Amino acid sequence: MFRSPQRRLCHARCRGEALEVKGLDRRTDGVLLPDAPEEPIWVIEVQGRDDANIYYRLLVELGLVGERHPGRVVRGLILFATPALDPRTEPWHGAARHPDAPLPPVSG
Q: pLDDT by residue (tens digit) across 13-64?
A: 877 777 765 666 677 888 999 999 999 999 999 999 999 999 988 988 999 8
Q: Which pLDDT does position 2 carry in this prediction?
A: 45
Average pLDDT, the chain: 81
| Confidence check: pLDDT of 103 > 70 | no
Which strands, in side-by-side order, build the sheet including 30-34? 14-17, 30-34, 41-47, 74-80
SS3 58: helix
Percent of the chain at pLDDT > 90 equals 36
Residue 7 included in any domain: no
For residues 22 and 99, give the distance between their C-alpha atoms in angstroms, rounded to a whole number: 33
Residue 27 included in any domain: yes
* 102 within 8 A of 69, measured Cβ to Cβ: no
Residue 9 included in any domain: no
Range of the domain at 44: 14-95
Q: Which pLDDT does position 1 carry in this prediction?
A: 42
Maximum separation of any 2 CA atoms in the chain, in Å: 36
How many domains are contained in the chain?
A: 1
Band (pLDDT 50/70/90 cuts) for residue 4 is: very low
* 97 within 8 A of 64, measured Cβ to Cβ: no
> Which residue in 89, 85, 31 sits closest to 55, CA to CA?
89
Q: Return left, alpha or beta for 73; rule: phi > 0 is left, psi -120 to 50 is alpha, else beta.
A: beta
Q: What dihedral do alpha carbons 92, 85, 82, 30 form, nearest 10°? A: 60
Residue 103 included in any domain: no
